[in-house]
């Protein structure tokens, strides 16, 4: 890592953690809410305008699961967010994911490829703006997503989960309205083909010499954060 005065920047090739707090955990300070998702990633770029990271195939990650051990999506929507949960370690499969986040923006953009580096789509993940700490970034997922395809068409995803989160009290009216505003802003960027869609990241490739980052045993540790 390199210091830049107010902020600490990571160098290309550094390993950090990309984590999400428990959905709807609004009680108390952010650093006290439980973490349910952790993905070790490799830094591609870290500037005042953009954080870009690569999650490689074969990365050991942490995800939420039902207390029974079943995957969350197997639970009916009506009870998906009210039944007890825990966490589970698993290995990320597929081609890997490139994640792009601009400081202060309430979404990140992920790029997916199929085998042979055939570009599949961009994925807009609505979330709290990232907060930085010594070994990574944290956020909270906001359920709603957008899929953007190479022909520049797009569609909303997980609108049912976004609605259900509000019904069961995981998201209050004010937060839901903030997410809707973020959605409208993201659609404006997509339709204008603004960054990062126009920036050619679909042609990016990881350095083959990069090792797969390890998942530390204390992946859920909490430390003082610095502004993003």
Q: What is the pLDDT of residues 102-161, one digit of tens each?
A: 999 999 999 999 999 999 999 999 999 999 999 999 999 999 999 999 999 999 999 999
* Residue 31, pLDDT score: 44
Residue 220 is assigned to a structural domain of this protein: no
- What percent of the chain is modeled with pLDDT above 70? 89
Give the whole-angstrom CA distance, residue 183 versus residue 144.
8
Residue 139 is assigned to a structural domain of this protein: yes
How many C-beta atoms lie closer than 10 Å to residue 65's C-beta? Answer: 18
Please provide the average confidence, as pLDDT, over all residues in the chain: 91
* Residue 223, pLDDT score: 54
As for how many domains the chain has, the answer is 1
Residue 11 is assigned to a structural domain of this protein: yes
The two tokens of residue 132 are 């930085």
Average pLDDT over residues 3-12: 69
Lowest-confidence pick of 16-20, 82-86, 95-99: 82-86
Residue 224 is assigned to a structural domain of this protein: no
CATH code (residue 192)? 2.40.380.10
The two tokens of residue 195 are 């960054």
Residue 35 is assigned to a structural domain of this protein: yes
Residue 118 is assigned to a structural domain of this protein: yes
Average pLDDT over residues 198-208: 98
Average pLDDT over residues 179-202: 98
Q: Which residue is it, tokens 């797009």?
A: 154
Residue 222 is assigned to a structural domain of this protein: no
* Residue 78, pLDDT score: 95
Give the whole-angstrom CA distance, residue 40 versus residue 16.
6
Q: Which domain holds residue 130?
A: 2-207
Give the whole-angstrom CA distance, residue 11 versus residue 33.
29
3-class secondary structure per residue, the chain = CEEECCEEECCCCCEEEEEEECCCCCCCCHHHCCEEEEEEEEEEEECCCCEEEEECCCCEEEEEEECCCCEHHHCCHHHCCCCCEEEEEEECCCCCEEEEECCCCCEEEEEEEECCCEEEEEEEEEECCCEEECCEEEECEEEEEEEECCCCCEEEECHHHHHHHHHCCCCCHHHHHHHHHHHHHHHHHHHCCCCCHHHCHHHCCCCCCCCCCCCCCCCCCCCCEECC
Q: Answer whether 85's CB lies under 8 Å from 36's CB.
A: yes
Residue 217 is assigned to a structural domain of this protein: no
What is the pTM for the complete model shown? 0.90
Kindly tell me if the per-residue pLDDT of 228 is higher than 80. no
């Amino acid at each position: 890592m390199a210091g830049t005065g107010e902020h600490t920047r990571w160098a290309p090739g550094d390993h950090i953690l990309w984590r999400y707090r428990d959905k709807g955990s609004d009680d108390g300070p952010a650093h006290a809410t439980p973490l349910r998702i952790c993905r070790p990633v490799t830094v591609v770029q870290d500037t005042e305008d953009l954080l870009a990271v690569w999650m490689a195939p074969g990365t050991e990650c942490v995800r939420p699961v039902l207390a029974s051990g079943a995957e969350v999506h197997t639970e009916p929507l009506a009870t998906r967010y009210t039944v007890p949960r825990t966490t589970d370690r698993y290995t990320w499969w597929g081609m890997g994911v490139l994640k792009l986040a601009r400081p202060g923006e309430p979404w990140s953009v992920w790029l997916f490829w199929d085998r042979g580096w055939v570009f599949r789509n961009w994925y807009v993940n609505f979330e709290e703006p990232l907060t930085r700490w010594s070994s990574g970034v944290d956020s909270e997922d906001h359920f709603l997503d957008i899929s953007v395809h190479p022909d520049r068409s797009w569609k909303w995803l997980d609108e049912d989960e976004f609605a259900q989160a509000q019904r069961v009290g995981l998201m209050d009216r004010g937060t839901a309205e903030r997410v809707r505003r973020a959605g409208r802003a993201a659609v404006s960027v997509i339709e204008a083909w603004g960054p990062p869609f126009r920036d050619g990241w679909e042609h990016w490739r990881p350095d083959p010499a990069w090792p797969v980052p390890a998942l530390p045993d204390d992946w859920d540790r909490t430390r003082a954060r610095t502004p993003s």
